[in-house]
Amino acid sequence: DSGVTQTPKHLITATGQRVTLRCSPRSGDLSVYWYQQSLDQGLQFLIQYYNGEERAKGNILERFSAQQFPDLHSELNLSSLELGDSALYFCARRLAGVRQPQHFGDGTRLSIL
Amino acid sequence: TQLLEQSPQFLSIQEGENLTVYCNSSSVFSSLQWYRQEPGEGPVLLVTVVTGGEVKKLKRLTFQFGDARKDSSLHITAAQPGDTGLYLCAGGSTNAGKSTFGDGTTLTVKP
């Protein structure tokens, strides 16, 4: 059990639409990370939040945005969806401490038709 | 920009064989993690190494962190079909909260 719950597990939508992916880390986890993994590719870091504030940004498109709420759950918003946005989207948590590893949820599989 | 290169990209072996996969960088990392990912699931943490030269064993898996903390290797002895998956290494930096991930090694162990 990674302690990270992601919903929904699967999402099918059409080009041009907007979706919201949700991540609920274990209670007390201040950090949350979002990653995108396209078919047969590695993990691409999108964005990190710490205690409600954006901490680091990766290769996140302007059509994508995220936020972390006071209860520390996070949402990743994807808009004006394109076929190339089809991917697995992972959320990860990390305990305090620079040498602590990240623990991943099972992801949301997004399919754009 | 910190980069991690993993090799080989793909590896297909028979059950019972030994193998080593590598994770290399020109950057120094404060820690390095190895994950295994199965299709449709999230990466699962296998090990964290933090000290240069450190060796950790997890049953048939042996992980080593390079002396200079720039590279790492994962050795599997007597591979089994259950070892099949994508192996990812990730380097942590003291200057940033995020980790740098390699592109992974896809391992297939045939019965």
What pLDDT sits at residue A90?
96
A2, A105 in Cβ contact below 8 A? yes
Q: Could you tell me the pLDDT band of residue B98, with boundaries at 50, 70 and 90?
A: confident
Nearest CA-CA distance, residue A63 and chain B, Å: 22
**Chunked in runs of 10, what are the mean pLDDT values of chain A (113 residues)?**
90 97 86 89 89 90 95 95 96 81 94 95
Mutant choice from B9, B93, B99 vs A, greatest count of A C-beta within 10 A: B99
Q: Which residue, A42, A54, A52, is CA-closest to A87? A: A42
Nearest CA-CA distance, residue B47 and chain A, Å: 9
Partner residue facing A90 (CB), from B42, B48, B96: B42
B2, B93 in Cβ contact below 8 A? yes
Between A and B, how many residue pairs show a Cβ–Cβ distance under 8 A? 68
What pairs with residue A53 in β-bridges? Answer: A50
Q: Is A102 helix (H, G, I), strand (E, B) or coil?
A: strand
- CA–CA gap between residue A38 and residue B46 (Å, rounded): 22
For residues B98 and B60, which has the higher predicted lDDT (pLDDT)?
A: B60
Q: What is the DSSP letter of B27?
A: S
Beta strands in chain B, from DSSP E residues, in sequence order? 5-7, 10-14, 19-24, 31-37, 44-49, 55-58, 61-65, 71-76, 85-92, 99-101, 105-110
Q: Is B81 helix (H, G, I), strand (E, B) or coil?
A: helix
Tell whether the model's pLDDT for residue B96 goes beyond 60. Answer: no
- CA–CA gap between residue B85 and residue A8 (Å, rounded): 24
What pLDDT sits at residue A1?
76
CA atoms within 13 A on the CB side of A36: 19
For residues A3 and B58, which has the higher predicted lDDT (pLDDT)?
A: B58
CATH topology for B5-110? Immunoglobulin-like (2.60.40)
Partner residue facing A99 (CB), from B41, B50, B88: B50
The dihedral formed by the CA atoms of B99, B8, B59 and B89, expressed in degrees to the nearest 10: 0
Instruction: Tell me, yes or no, if B85 comes closer than 8 A to chain A by beta carbon.
Output: no
Task: Map out the domains of chain B as residue ranges.
Answer: 5-110
